[in-house]
């Protein structure tokens, strides 16, 4: 995908040659690495879930999460237990999987539903991205029927994105960009009826997501490729009470809090609470559990999966 080349090009455009050079020099002076050295966590059990890219809780059952693969797979969802166990595969009829990157939970007309984000765009060339709302099959359903499809564009041109969430307080859809510093959050109002086929809507730009820690010399020493990208957002989820959101990156997760009457633009300007994750390679999925007390995360390379108890939310 040329991730490193594109990243270095972006850094040159942003005038960061000196900073990168200093980090690389410092990395050469570090004799030991700290990441990717911990004992591997168990991966998800289903061997067909080869590139876990999106994860969300279910509103139809507390026993399962929903996950999906990255680009290259068919339109299907995977039930994943809180211990990574396999609950089976559920096809999504009438949907297309171009580059599914995240999934969110919502209620559509009072019923449990899921929102799948076909929002990946590594080359930044897609004229429009697509969100698929499907019925939540729960613990035993064998299909995820399509409820509606929403086609979107960004107000400032194509963006690669891997974060998608739905605000449980007002139904707003949030999309988080990936390949820019700082990352940017976009908003889409929840439609009150299925959008017309072929219609393309424009997302609203809310503002930056600030204070994600930049890569360190240790990150570069551990991994010359992904070490440069450890602050890139790879998932987004909002707590069941709507009062905090977690941004997952390649390194750790970061929890932003807000008050009930506060905008997400204001909340994402705060310094977040760091949630330490196991140091897997290419962590790309993260979600609150249904009780909001734990956070589940997983690697796209089957390097690990775990549900961690969250610390108290910082005041």
- Number of domains observed in the structure of the chain: 1
pLDDT of residue 30: 34
Q: Would residue 48 count as lying in a domain?
A: yes
SS3 198: coil
Convert the pLDDT of each residue in 163-175 to its tens digit. 999 999 999 999 9
Work out the pLDDT band at 26, boundaries 50, 70, 90. Answer: very low
For residue 125, being part of any structural domain is answered with yes
What percentage of the chain carries pLDDT values higher than 70?
Answer: 87
Higher pLDDT, 262 or 42: 262
Question: Does any domain span residue 312?
Answer: no
Q: How many CB atoms lie within 10 A of CB 209?
A: 25
**CATH assignment of the domain containing 255:** 2.120.10
- Residue 314 inside a domain? The answer is no
Write the CB contacts of 113 (distance below 8 Å, at least 6 apart in sequence).
59, 105, 106, 107, 133, 134, 135, 136, 147
CA distances from 239 to 236, 242, 257 (A): 10, 5, 10
Residue 297 within a domain: yes
Domain of residue 176 covers 3-307
On whether residue 152 sits in a domain, the answer given is yes
Q: Is residue 313 part of a domain?
A: no
The reported pLDDT for the residue numbered 314 is 84
Count CB neighbours of 30 within 10 A. Answer: 14
Average pLDDT, the chain: 89
- pLDDT given for residue 31 in this prediction: 36
Question: Residue 226: its pLDDT value, please?
Answer: 81
Which spans in the chain are helix H? 3-13, 17-28, 217-222, 264-267
Angle at which helix 3-13 crosses helix 17-28, to 10 degrees, equals: 120
Average pLDDT over residues 99-104: 98
Q: What's CA 150's distance to the chain center, in Å? A: 19
Classify residue 282: in a domain, yes or no: yes
pLDDT in tens, 194-221: 999 999 999 999 999 999 999 999 998 9
Once rounded to an integer, what is the mean pLDDT over residues 240-254?
97
pLDDT digits (tens, 9 = 90+) for 264-282: 999 999 999 999 999 888 9
- Pick the closest to residue 179 from 224, 122, 237, 236 (CA basis): 122
Q: What pLDDT does residue 15 have?
A: 45
Q: Label residue 93 by pLDDT band (50, 70, 90).
A: very high
Q: What pLDDT score does 40 carry?
A: 56
What average pLDDT does the segment 275-302 reach?
95
Q: Which range (25-29, 88-92, 108-112, 143-147) has the least confidence?
A: 25-29
């Amino acid at each position: 995908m040329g991730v490193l080349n594109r990243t270095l090009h972006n850094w040159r455009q942003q005038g960061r040659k000196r900073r990168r050079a200093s980090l690389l020099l410092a990395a050469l002076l570090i004799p030991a690495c700290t990441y990717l050295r911990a004992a591997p966590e168990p991966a998800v059990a289903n061997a067909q879930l080869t590139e876990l890219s999106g994860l969300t809780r279910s509103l139809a059952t507390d026993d399962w999460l929903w996950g999906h693969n990255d680009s290259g797979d068919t339109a299907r969802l995977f039930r994943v237990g809180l211990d990574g166990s396999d609950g089976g595969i559920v096809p999504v009829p009438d949907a297309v999987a171009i580059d599914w990157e995240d999934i969110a939970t919502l209620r559509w007309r009072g019923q449990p539903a899921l929102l799948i984000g076909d929002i990946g765009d590594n080359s930044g060339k897609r004229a429009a991205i697509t969100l698929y709302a499907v019925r939540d099959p729960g613990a035993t359903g064998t299909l995820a029927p399509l409820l509606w499809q929403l086609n979107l564009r960004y107000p400032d041109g194509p963006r690669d994105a891997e974060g998608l969430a739905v605000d449980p307080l007002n139904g707003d859809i949030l999309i988080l960009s990936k390949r820019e510093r700082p990352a940017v959050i976009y908003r889409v109002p929840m439609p009150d009826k299925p959008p017309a086929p072929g219609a393309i809507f424009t997302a609203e730009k809310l503002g930056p997501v600030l204070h994600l820690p930049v890569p360190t010399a240790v990150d570069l020493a551990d991994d010359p490729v992904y070490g440069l990208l450890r602050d890139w957002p790879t998932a987004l989820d909002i707590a069941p009470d709507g009062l905090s959101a977690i941004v997952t990156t390649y390194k750790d997760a970061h929890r932003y809090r807000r008050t009930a009457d506060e905008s997400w633009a204001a909340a994402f300007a705060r310094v977040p609470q760091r949630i330490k994750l196991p140091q897997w390679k290419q962590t790309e999925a993260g979600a609150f559990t249904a009780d909001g007390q734990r956070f589940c995360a997983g690697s796209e390379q089957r390097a690990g999966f775990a549900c961690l108890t969250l610390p108290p939310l910082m005041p």
